[in-house]
A and B are shown apart, each in its own frame.
Chain A
Amino acid sequence: MPLCAKCVRDGNSDRASVIATRGSEYCADCFKVDMFGRFTKAYTTKESLLPRGEPVCVAWSGGLSSSLLVHYMNSFLNKNFKQNVSPRFSAVYVCVVDYSCLLSEEKQQIVNQEIEAMQSIAEGYNFNFKRIPLESAFTNENGDLDSTLVADLTSPEILQLKFESYSTSKTSTATPISRTLDLFASFKSTPAANPTTAVTLLNTLTTRLLRRAASTYNCTTLMTGSNASTIAAQIVTQTALGGGFNLPNEISLEYKVPNTDIVTFRPIRDLLFGEVEKLVELDEIAQFPGVAGMAEGLFGGVVGSVGTEGASVAKMTIQDLAASFVKGLQKDFPQSVSTVTRTAFKVQTGANAPGLDVCLLCSNPIQPNSQNWRASHTTSRLDDIPDIIKNEDGTVVEAPKKASEVPATGAADLLLCYACQHVGRDVKVKEKLVLPGGDWFLGAKKDCFVGNGCCDSGVSD
């Protein structure tokens, strides 16, 4: 049996190794100390954006990584207490986004039980626990129906959005849940569904709700449990979705969310999934597979590993494919994930430059001149092909292009980043499309829909 390299080197003992990682063997104690050291080291970077002594919001998905993060936060603050130093954070808000409204009753029961268990763990640590229902994306701070964005059906081809104010909503029979269901139903058609877009949208709403919660509880830091493996999958996913421009913000240790005071912080981004798994096992951290797997198979996609018999790749999501790919990568070349992430951490695309417009949906910066990129490389109408005119001297010129039918205002493509443009494009049932339209969601983009803002696309107030 291999021995712990550090213990042997220190001449302290001959303890057996429990894990081989990063080219070395570790016993349980040395491994835990080393990994926790990596977590605390994340707080000591130069020019850190993290404020000290303010409340922090911790996103808990129920998965292994975020469960470890909550556990580490407790250890970290206890350490502060024992060392008699002022706590790094004044309060901890643990937030769970609950997708119950999309689940069957049976699954809802499991999720309810697990969320209650999560609450008791968080409260046992003296953390505040907040359950955020997905449908709250459609409510205001009082829990009432909020304003929305819906498709303007007068534009048959281009997805154009219009604002429906809160006052209109009040007379509606809709509920937050019915709106959430309608939103996801708008991407389904018989027999095809578009699971990749639905998953993207679900992730986007989750992120926006977590940022909203952070803001509500005056948290200036939003902590997520992304580990190296999930970040590697994120790199593949973002690349495949066309979101390369925003990749640095999606994977960096710290990211200042545009137009907010919130810094997204990923303190365990260097830990490999295998390491997280081992830590969870060693520290006997409770697991919540029901909550962690809430989104699995939700949108009609056949979830399975690539190459699995019977699994149809065409029905999988890009997110599934990327995760499956990274899993295989890790299995065959354990060190490769670190290499991939280290390389990606060097990428600078200019996405953190000040003054960039932000996406209506994901609120991430929009790459300049990217909104028409797709259209500029794809001809999807014959009218876009100008006639050829032969001059008397034999030279050839192209006739001016016919006027484009693409509306200049309110068009989703103009409001969304390149990756989110898929959402606008993949809507199958426009009548059902309904997006959150509250101030918290639209921010300055509200001007695009009301008043004399940039997109002035008509108000049905």
Chain B
Amino acid sequence: MKLCVLCNTNRAQLKRPKTGQQICKTCFYAVFEYEIHCTITENKLFKRGDKVAIAASGGKDSTVLAHTMKLLNDRYDYGLDLCLLSIDEGIKGYRDDSLETVKRNQLQYNLPLLVLSYEELYGWSMDKIVAQIGTKNNCTFCGVFRRQALDRGAARLGVDHIVTGHNADDVAETVLMNRKLLVLFQKFTLTHFPLVFRGDFARLTRCTSITTQTLETSATTAPEHLTIPRSKPFKYTYEKEIVLYAYFLSLDYFSTECTYSVEAYRGYARVFLKDLEKVRASAIMDVIHSGEAYAQSLDEIERVEAENGGKKKKKTVVQKQGTCERCGYISSNKLCKACVLLESLNKGLPAVSLE
């Protein structure tokens, strides 16, 4: 019998993906939970008394997030007021089933839940959108609508912070895509084509940051619901470990892929990252480490500019912050992105591109 290398007492039951150590379940729970606690405290994600919304889809990441946030809040006495926030995109056979999981999680963890639907917010469900535009670019619509819906939901709940279940694999994939490497394999999808040619270091910074505030919200002091930071407590947590944790604890989660994500753009990035992980388990952390160094690029450029007395000012146009004249959401243009997309849907011009 092989003993756990951490406690040397129990039988080793798994090989930990992040370190390759053969450990028992009890030790796995301990290190898994403690690492997330460290991520939260070292990055000072919250302050005592914060009201925090957990973005809950019913999938493995958000279910484990809800479980660990509740557990750590109790164990370490963070003093957080937790609640669940779900967005119903209106996808029959997928979201309706996963929302049932979220509702069960609500009872299991005894947390308040708010469900906001696209239908309610925009008058369109994803099923209707796909019926009109097909499956080619539907992720564009879904992504823009969800981002805004989360902000609106958070505002309705009056929270100080949103946490999402983005894990280390997600962050590493985004780093690689922002390096303009893997996105080229996405057959130039409408959503991500612009990323390839932008040299968008600001976006790189945002994707590697553990806490982000959207570009639209960061420069405004106006609407109270638009300055809500989002954090990724799982930034350094491997997806495989999240799955193992959920499996060992028999957490109640929904594991079906989105009906419309057959051509999801992350596919190629994920395959490459998984290949890297097979070669070297720490590759995911290593990619994130590189990503954080690239993100410093922006700081470095700004520092050099400051040292040069602003002589080498960037030629970027400073966007004027305002609000969407139609829905009131913060936007640097007359209409926010969601309203532009809605207009195209309502006019029957679904092929309109973002930026």
Residues of chain A at the chain B interface (Cβ within 8 Å): 196, 232, 235-236, 238-245, 247, 306, 313-314, 316-318, 321, 325, 329, 332-333, 336, 339-340, 343-344, 346-350, 367, 370, 373-374, 376-382, 384-385, 388, 394-396, 398, 418-419, 422
Contact = CB atoms under 8 A, between A and B. Distances in A.
Contact of A196 (B31, B35, B201, B279): B279
B176 A239 contact: yes
A419 B296 CA distance: 18
B21 A380 contact: yes
Nearest to A373: B289
B280 A196 contact: yes
Given A321-B279, A349-B297, A374-B282, A379 B31 contact: yes
Interface in B253-296: 272, 275-276, 278-280, 282-283, 285-287, 289-294, 296
Contact of A349 (B196, B283, B294): B294
B12 to A, nearest CB: 14
Contact of A240 (B286, B294, B296): B286
The 10 closest A-B pairs by CB, nearest first: A244-B290, A242-B286, A396-B77, A244-B293, A245-B293, A377-B236, A379-B31, A242-B289, A314-B278, A239-B290
Given A380-B31, A395-B77, 5 more contacts: A244-B289, A314-B278, A346-B201, A348-B300, A419-B286
Interface string B295-336: 011001100100000000000000000000000000000000
A439 B31 CA distance: 42
A339 B21 CA distance: 40
Contacts of B197: 339
A321 B294 contact: no
Contacts of B283: 240, 318
Contacts of B7: 382
B18 A318 contact: no
Q: How large is the interface on B (under 10, 10 to 19, 20 to 34, 35 or more residues)?
A: 35 or more
Given A239-B176, A379-B31, A382-B27, A370 B289 contact: yes
Interface in B179-235: 179-181, 184-185, 196-197, 199, 201
Contacts of B247: none
A104 B42 CA distance: 52
A346 B278 contact: no
A321 B272 CA distance: 8
A263 to B, nearest CB: 21
Given A336-B184, A378-B19, A316 B293 contact: no
A451 B304 CA distance: 39
A367 B293 contact: yes
A300 to B, nearest CB: 13
17 contacts: A235-B181, A236-B176, A239-B287, A240-B287, A244-B292, A244-B293, A247-B293, A316-B279, A340-B179, A348-B297, A348-B301, A349-B300, A350-B300, A379-B34, A379-B35, A379-B38, A396-B75
Contacts of A247: 290, 293-294
A62 B127 CA distance: 58
B30 interface: yes
Contacts of B64: none
B77 A332 contact: no
Given A349-B300, A374-B285, A377-B236, A343 B179 contact: yes
A347 B294 CA distance: 7
A242 B77 CA distance: 35
A418 B289 contact: yes
Contact of B181 (A340, A350, A379): A340
B297 A347 contact: yes
B80 to A, nearest CB: 13
Contacts of B341: none
Interface string B16-52: 0011010000010011001100110010000000000
Main DSSP-derived SS at the B contact region: helix
A297 B196 CA distance: 34
B111 interface: no
Contact of B275 (A196, A239, A306, A367): A306
Which residue among B180, B289, B291 has the maximum number of chain A CB atoms within 10 Å of its CB? B289
Contact of A378 (B175, B176, B285): B285
Nearest to B304: A348
B6 interface: yes
A72 to B, nearest CB: 29
Interface in B1-18: 6-7, 18
B76 interface: yes
Given A239-B290, A242-B287, A388 B35 contact: no
Contacts of B300: 348-350
A244 to B, nearest CB: 3
A240 B277 CA distance: 10
Contacts of A244: 289-294
A347 B185 CA distance: 22
B244 to A, nearest CB: 15
B178 to A, nearest CB: 9
Contacts of A346: 199, 201, 297
A241 B21 CA distance: 20
A235 B31 contact: no
A344 B290 CA distance: 13
A325 B180 CA distance: 13
B275 A313 contact: yes
Interface in B75-120: 75-77
B35 A245 contact: no
Given A350-B296, A382-B7, A321 B276 contact: yes
A239 B6 contact: no
Contacts of A245: 290, 293
B180 A339 contact: yes
Nearest to B6: A382
B179 A344 contact: yes
A373 B27 CA distance: 22
A343 B184 CA distance: 13
Contacts of B21: 380
Contacts of A380: 6, 19, 21, 31
Contacts of B304: 348
A152 B280 CA distance: 26
Given A239-B176, A325-B272, A388-B75, A313 B279 contact: yes
Nearest to A312: B278
Nearest to A385: B34
Contacts of A382: 6-7, 27, 30-31
Contacts of A242: 282, 285-287, 289-290
Given A196-B280, A348-B297, A380-B19, A343 B35 contact: no
Q: Which among A329, A346, A348 has the highest number of chain B CB atoms within 10 Å?
A: A348
Contacts of A384: 34
Contact of B18 (A378, A385, A388, A394): A378
A313 B274 CA distance: 10
Nearest to A381: B6
A343 B196 CA distance: 9
Nearest to A248: B297
